[in-house]
A and B are shown apart, each in its own frame.
Chain A
Amino acid sequence: MKERNKVLDGGLNILDIVGKLVLIVVMAFPFFWMISTALKTLGETLLYPPSLLPESPQWSNFAEVFKTIPVGQYLVNSLIVCVSVVLLQYLIIVPAAYSLSKYDYKAKPLVFALVMLGQMIPMQITFLPIYFMFSDLGLMDTYVALIIPFISNPFGIFMLRQYFLQVPSEVIEAAKLDNASDIKIMFKVMMPMVRPALVTIGLLSFISNWNNYFWPLIMTSQDAYRTLPIGIALLKDADTLQRWNIIMAGNLLLVLPMLGLYVVASRKIRNAFVYSGIK
């Protein structure tokens, strides 16, 4: 009886390992395919059934991407937008969260409701009116149009507020008795105390802005302001016959920074998403 259990358990264990490996392959293979295709010749992409690996890696495919679309410009634009959003949002959300957690005023519940509403309403609902507004103001095809709508990050306000609430009021009072101004208390005393939250918010907003396709699609029509996701979508339609090796090479440029970030800070990123999901 004991022997049989052992055999059964060993079998289950192998099944368990195989199952998980299959799962890993299902998740990882598309990425492998992206890389493999990106290094193939056009001829190799047309083979059917396809070969798993390129005969010899075609690094020139990446150069071809740069020839086909202004990737450099897109990359710079993506970086400008992402970094600006991440940094500028702190100027907005830190004071707002601090105000919501440590000050008392009549309209506070209203401000809080506004933050909740901001979290609830997706931009897929509000984009048309914002488009009209930006057109009227002549803000189409500007960095402003790509940055400003994201710096009031309501989720960031909500999360920071939760963190600020946990800071004992006595610390603020001690700083007041030390003759520190409100602004100084906020930046010198409170902000360093919630650094993990600031990092989480920064990571999440960097990732989501880097990947954002919808917003720049609506707000830009000139290469000077287009971001990388738009560029890759344009690359796909650049030729009548799709050159998948070139498209995948371009795609890698969009994917690699995120993968790199994930390799470096996998746990941190996952924790950030858990927090954003559970609140």
Chain B
Amino acid sequence: MSREKTAVRPAYGKNEKRERLMGYILAAPAVILLVVFTVYPLIYLIYRSLFGGNLIAKDPDFVGIENYQTLFESEDFHKVLTNTLVYTLITVVLTIVLAVIIASWLHSKRNRKLNDITQTFIFTPHIISVVSVSTLFLWLMDSKMGFLNSVLNALGFDSYTFLASPDTALFSIALVMVWKGLGYYVLLIMAALQNIPSNVYEAAEIDDTPKLRTFFKITLPMISPTILFTSVVATISSFKVFDSVSIMTGGGPLNSTNTLVYYIYEYAYRYGKPGQACAAGVILLIFVCAITFLQFKVSKKRVYYQ
């Protein structure tokens, strides 16, 4: 249907004109909504980041890049950026490595029925609200009465501080989010594994390739595009982390779990500095754009596929 059509045609093509108009009319509601809720907010975010003022004031004063300067000079913000990056790194690496291992494991021919059941269970937390998962783990990870510590004690270990100590809180949140998200990534990687034609494995078997070598030399390269893609998805979703921080720690203890989106939220609503919040929002925007751009770049050279 996508054929080019001549531009000038007086007195003809009434049907065609009608068709074109219909195309616009049908797309219009979605376009309007997308402009109002995506394009305009992006523009306004950048614009507003150049102004001071508070949440209520009608006419905030123009301050230029002062908000950005304040951010970069603020030690808190450095901490927030570091937290966000460390959290992202832990979550993404753990998630992807575990997902690849578990997906390959569940893809094997051994105990097929059990594989399916295991997969069903692993995926369950993904459709559960972060609010539920966070409250639940807040309870499980309670440093004094939590179940996890009771297990550690029973095994002869000391109690772990989990969310109570600035040294372990960020890692604990990351663990919870890995637990929650793992099933989704296992699912995606298994889908990729299922797409590898079985004759590739048969060829390797005829060549008497050891199993581990088959995994590293055949399986891994063939699912590399999916690994890349899932890493990008996991990275962006880690950048956005908010719900779990808000519920489990509120950014503490001692700012140790304060991440970018939580920081934006707090600066806007608790400290009433929307200009600075918007500036931090622009930085998040840059992060997301950079990762997406990187994905386009790399996937153009498509790591490996038939």
Contacts and interface: CB of A to CB of B under 8 A. Distances in A.
Contacts, number: 260
Contact of B48 (A46, A106, A122, A128): A128
B163 interface: no
Interface residues of B, number: 92
Interface string A56-95: 0000000000000000000000000000000000011101
Contacts of B23: 99, 103-105, 108
B14 interface: no
Contacts of B123: 270, 273
Contacts of B33: 92, 148, 151-152
Contacts of A45: 145
Interface in B123-139: 123-133, 135-139
Interface string B129-157: 11111011111100011010010011000
Contacts of B165: none
Nearest to B30: A96
A30 B38 contact: no
Interface string A251-279: 10011001101100010011001100110
B129 A23 contact: no
Contacts of B34: 114-115, 117-118, 152, 154
B268 interface: yes
Contacts of B204: none
Contact of A33 (B26, B44, B144, B147): B147
**Interface SS of chain A:** helix
B24 A105 contact: yes
B86 interface: no
B35 A274 contact: no
Nearest to B15: A176
A152 B30 contact: yes
A146 interface: no
A95 B29 contact: yes
Nearest to A120: B292
Contacts of B117: 24
B188 interface: yes
A15 B102 CA distance: 14
B124 A125 contact: no
A236 B261 contact: no
B136 A274 contact: no
Interface string B224-246: 00100110010010001011001
B129 A255 contact: yes
29 contacts: A13-B110, A27-B122, A28-B124, A33-B140, A37-B139, A46-B145, A96-B29, A96-B31, A102-B1, A105-B23, A117-B39, A122-B236, A125-B41, A125-B285, A129-B42, A129-B278, A152-B33, A152-B34, A210-B129, A211-B130, A211-B131, A212-B129, A213-B247, A229-B132, A255-B128, A270-B119, A273-B123, A274-B187, A274-B191
